[in-house]
Amino acid sequence: MNKEEIKEKFRFNPENYREAGNSDFELILSTVNSIVPPSEKFMEEAAVYCDSLCKPLGSLGVLENMYVRISGIFDGKIPRKFKKAVIVYSADNGICEEGISSNPQEVTERICHNILKGTSGLCRLSEFYGAEVFLEDLGVINDIEGHTAYKINRGSRNSAAGPALTLNEAIEGIAAGIKTAEKLIRDGYNLIGAGEMGVGNTATSSTVLSVITGNRSETTTGYGSGLTKEDYGKKIETVRKAAETNAPYKDVLDVMAKVGGLDICAMAGCYLACAAKKIPFILDGVISMAAMMCASLFSEQVKSYGFSSHRTVEKGARLTEELLEINPPLDLMMRLGEGSGCPPAMNLMEASVFTLGSMATFEDVAVDKNDYVDIRKGEKNHEENV
């Protein structure tokens, strides 16, 4: 399916859930309804400003694009320094009953404790780049003590045999993402990344993307944390089975409940909250891309506040990038998850703001801007004629 077909078929429709009129559902509705696009006026002004700086026009590429978007998000009042956070949403996945992961399910709990000790890959990258890490246990089989304020259940159900979550559990998961993001924003964080931890969550992400995009499981399913060729074939078949078992689907919320996971729900909620509060957020790998696809079907404008980090090797992420017109600035051949792509991308955004916010202008250096050819126009014309 193309973008318009996906939107038509899976766009969130509150009328499907009249019986779900609880406070969490109302929170989702109010969050979605408060999302507005970044300011076109301030983006246009920022673009003109970038072209006044003493450099070949457009020569800082992605850094300029970031600066323009950040200006629109913050209505021209770009922070000189970002307070950065990565929040990890953790939950076990019942689809693991199908034997689709090389890791035993208790690895979820162990990695959560490793994150809390500050010794995971995400944590070391975050310390290096000056971001803080938070963790919420939404559905780990064994409680991660001190981090269960938003605990919903102890693992989801096996989506290859029936719905992974009840409707209310999915709603609670999205609301948990909204609430935790809003708390970070109240505490002054103005650049947020969402990560995840849960064995089996590349399978749930692949299933979500397979259902929403209409692509076969072979196209949306990758190797995750690592599988033999035989086990990879089993994973593809399990994703197909889960997608077919739970059909038909009313809309995106129905998809998230039937074949998703609590981490995907919470990440989507986090993105919605950031967009509603006009705070930029960072995407990571395939699980975050599945969450972004879901969030965009609640509000198309949420994409305007999201910044991609790196190009992951997972198939489903590549597919989603194309559909959402997302072009990751980094290609680090990473596939760790946890939100590990967020800290380097946050640093890149800071570099954009620092560099473009402090460069000399053509006027400062007494250089004639007209001496430069705007090669962007030529590139655009060339692309149109190819």
235-252 pLDDT, tens digit per residue, is: 999 999 999 999 999 999
Span 144-150, mean pLDDT? 98
338 part of the active site: yes
pLDDT for the residue numbered 284 = 96
Q: What mean pLDDT value characterizes the chain?
A: 94
Q: Distance between CA 207 and CA 161 in Å, rounded?
A: 13
Tell me: pLDDT of 20 over 70: no
The pLDDT-based confidence of 102 (bands split at 50, 70, 90) is: confident
Tell me: pLDDT of 81 over 70: yes
One-letter-per-residue 3-state SS of the chain: CCHHHHHHHHCCCHHHHHHHCCHHHHHHHHHHHCCCCCCHHHHHHHHHHHCCECCCCCCCHHHHHHHHHHHHHCCCCCCCCCCEEEEEEEECCHHHHHCCCCCCCCHHHHHHHHHHHCCCHHHHHHHHHCCEEEEEEEECCCCCCCCCCCCCCCCCCCCCCCCCCCHHHHHHHHHHHHHHHHHHHHCCCCEEEEEEECCCHHHHHHHHHHHHHCCCHHHHCCCCCCCCHHHHHHHHHHHHHHHHHCCCCCCHHHHHHHHCCHHHHHHHHHHHHHHHCCCCEECCCHHHHHHHHHHHHHCHHHHHHEECCECCCCHHHHHHHHHHCCCCCECCCCCCCCCCCHHHHHHHHHHHHHHHCCCCEHHHHCCCHHHCCCHHHHHHHHHHHC
For 240, half-sphere exposure in the C-beta direction (CA atoms, 13 angstrom radius) is: 11
pLDDT for the residue numbered 380 = 54
The pLDDT-based confidence of 371 (bands split at 50, 70, 90) is: confident
Tell me: pLDDT of 384 over 70: no
Asked whether the bond before 248 is cis by omega within 30 degrees of 0, the reply is yes
| Residue 318, Ramachandran bin (φ over 0: left; ψ between -120 and 50: alpha; else beta) | alpha
pTM of the model: 0.95
The one catalytic residue among 169, 314, 338, 350: 338
Span 343-353, mean pLDDT? 97
Tell me: pLDDT of 137 over 80: yes
30-55 pLDDT, tens digit per residue, is: 999 999 999 999 999 999 999 999 99
Q: Distance between CA 85 and CA 268 in Å, rounded?
A: 16
